[in-house]
Amino acid sequence: MADDIWILGIRMTKFGKHPDKDVVDLAAEAAMAALADGGVTMKDIGILAAGNLMGGGGIGQQIQKQIGQTGIPVYNVANACATGATALRTAIMAIKAGECDMGLAVGVEKLAGAGLLAGGARAGDGNHFTPSGRQGAIAPLDGRVGTETMPGVFAQIGMEYGHKYGGTSFELFARISQKNHEHSTLNPLAAYTKAMSLEQIMGDVMIAYPNTRPMCSANCDGAAAAVVVSGQKLRTLSLEQQKRAVKVSASVLTSDPYEEACQILPNVNTLTRNAATTAYEQAGVGPEDLNLVELHDCFATAELVHYDNLMLCPEGGAVDFFESGATWRTGSTPVNVSGGLESKGHPIAATGIANIWEICHHLRGEAGDRQIEGAKVGLAHVIGLGSACGVHILEKSGL
């Protein structure tokens, strides 16, 4: 098996509206930039893992035709909002298995104007329920017995946390969003780079209480790509490449464990805590060692519960943790310095790699005005309903 895995090159496109580019254009832009960042070419790549959730499949081969068709194995990945992280993990596993010494992972999505991305068409009109298909007895109940839409589910998750531990309020969740919009003003690649006042956030359109529109992730277009390499191969490259490489200390993917009543409400908490626990064990670090975190704030309510799930605070202590100021870029554990999904944007399949790009940017000391000084260890987290959770812990090169 290969030894340590390193990120050699990584890039993301600007997130936002790209009406003049399709998914292949965006993916190719990110992939070529990641290769250039790593100082390598497609000739050096032994595996391509490509993530795209909303397309028709086969995106990897289409990207190949744009950036270099070399006969290497291509894996097309779709795994909810963890698609990008899963693509990266696919390339990492191929290197660890000894199949190749360098791989490329890409995530891309065109989502500008996509709306709420709510699924589950009702199985019929009127007052009669007609089950159909394997999930037909569950999915068509949306709006009749609870909800399966992402805004509704994550609103419930935030409210549930407040009922269990106390301290939450509409204003508290809005202040989390205010933090992320403030952070985004220093990120030129974010979809939105505008600070918002608490009054603006709380007074905007209510999507699913307690999340207003600015407290929700922004559907947009974008792509991100990463080149990963084995430690053995890295040692043959230039000193500059070795200095800029970022160590992947942990790469973890989890799904829902068995639990009673698991069909009632998607439990994003358990599989995230399981992924974080495994990642800390793999990396040999703890939450107290993290210099920054990029977590999956698909909604402001989600960010709060993931403080707890990632063990950034004691169990039940997420409110106090936020109130302490720890999560601001000037705090002890900066969270979503990029602006998070609420501002940076959320082109689904690209997000997992884009979160990792942000961490790498700081560990390399290349984050400019938003640089977290002295950053050595960071954690990137994504979660998709269904459910899938990816956690990566990254460390600065010691050179």
pLDDT tens per residue, the chain (399 residues)? Answer: 558 999 999 999 999 999 999 999 999 999 999 999 999 999 999 999 999 999 878 899 999 999 999 999 999 999 999 999 999 999 999 999 999 999 999 999 999 877 655 444 444 445 665 656 555 554 455 655 567 688 888 999 999 999 999 999 999 999 999 999 999 999 999 999 999 999 999 999 999 999 999 999 989 999 999 999 999 999 999 999 999 999 999 999 999 888 775 555 678 899 999 999 999 999 999 999 999 999 999 999 999 999 999 999 999 999 999 999 999 999 999 999 999 999 999 999 999 999 999 999 999 999 999 999 999 999 999 999 888 999 999 999 987
Does this model's pTM top 0.75? My answer is yes
The set of residues, in sequence order, having a beta carbon less than 8 Å from that of 288 and lying 6+ positions away, is: none
- Dihedral pair phi/psi, residue 232, rounded to 5°: -65, -45
Exposure of 278 in the CB half-sphere (CA atoms within 13 A) = 17
Sketch the domain layout of the chain as residue ranges.
Answer: 5-113+218-396
Rg (CA), the chain: 20
Give the fold, CATH level 3, of 5-113+218-396: Peroxisomal Thiolase; Chain A, domain 1 (3.40.47)
What count of other Cβ atoms lies within 10 Å of the Cβ of residue 99?
14
pLDDT (0 to 100) of residue 122: 41
The set of residues, in sequence order, having a beta carbon less than 8 Å from that of 210 and lying 6+ positions away, is: 155, 158, 159, 168, 169, 170, 173, 174, 300, 301
